[in-house]
Amino acid sequence: MRFTDMLQAASVRADSMLCVGLDPEPSKFPAAWKGDATRIADFCCGIVDATKDLVGSYKPQIAYFAAHRAEDQLERVMAHIRRVAPGVPVILDAKRGDIGSTAAQYAREAFERYQADAVTLSPYMGFDSIEPYLKYDGKGLILLCRTSNPGGSDLQAQRLADGSLLYEQVARMAAGDWNRNGQLGLVVGATFPAEIARVRELAPTLPLLIPGVGAQGGDAEATVRAGWRGAAAGDLSGTTGAIMVNSSRAVLYASAGEDWASAARAAAIATRDLLRRAGRAA
């Protein structure tokens, strides 16, 4: 199944815009596993088991695994998601950005080794930095557009000769000639609701991955109002591209006690319901 179709179906089935980010930090694990990097897969799989019926997507961040030499555990987590939540798309958050044979190897890593349904990419080396990924039919490419960090403005908010901003040009290209396989999406930070609305205007049908809700201070309700319009109240099939509102730390580390899995589920339910209410009001 194509990534965009899989995402739409999962979002409707769970009635959820929530994307749970899997950013495992052993120093924040429950007491019995605290500091033990060999438990990364166990922890992430426990989070998946607790939330699999509540989400529209998952987003494991590769650096949190690689820093602990835990790439094999990432493979285990990806396989576990495919087994227990086979309809939920998995976005490998890698933010790769290179060209030629190197980009081809990164694409192979994401889509063959890890079997991801989509991958995040930096588009700032141009179209040939994403072209090798397009060879994987049906896979999603989520391009950095307007990121949630304050320093993103250093480049993304630069004004071009035609008066537009750089992030706006990225959105236009992603919605236009670059979208040769119909599988591109954009990353837009929840800390910039006005920019989310602008990106949605420029790229009305592209899925948006929206990090920054929760620990980073993004307003969940403002995010949904800016990025999504439903065909009718409560209808997640929408009239625009799907949105994936990411929450990582607020879900993963809702409790450091023995109730960590149930606490993660409760946090996911609360966030899903908040997003759902905002969607119905949009």
Burial of 63 (0-12, 13-18, 19+ CB in 10 A): exposed
- What pTM was computed for the model? 0.93
Q: Total structural domains in the chain?
A: 1
Report the distance separating Cα 31 and Cα 135, nearest Å.
44
Average pLDDT on 29-54 reads: 97
**Which structure tokens are listed for 82?**
């495919």
- pLDDT tier at 205, thresholds 50, 70, 90: very high
CATH number at residue 182: 3.20.20.70
Q: Which structural domain range is residue 188 located in? A: 3-281
Active site members: 95
Residues 69-127 pLDDT 10s: 999 999 999 999 999 999 999 999 999 999 999 999 999 999 999 999 999 999 999 99
Burial class (CB in 10 A: 0-12, 13-18, 19+), 112: exposed
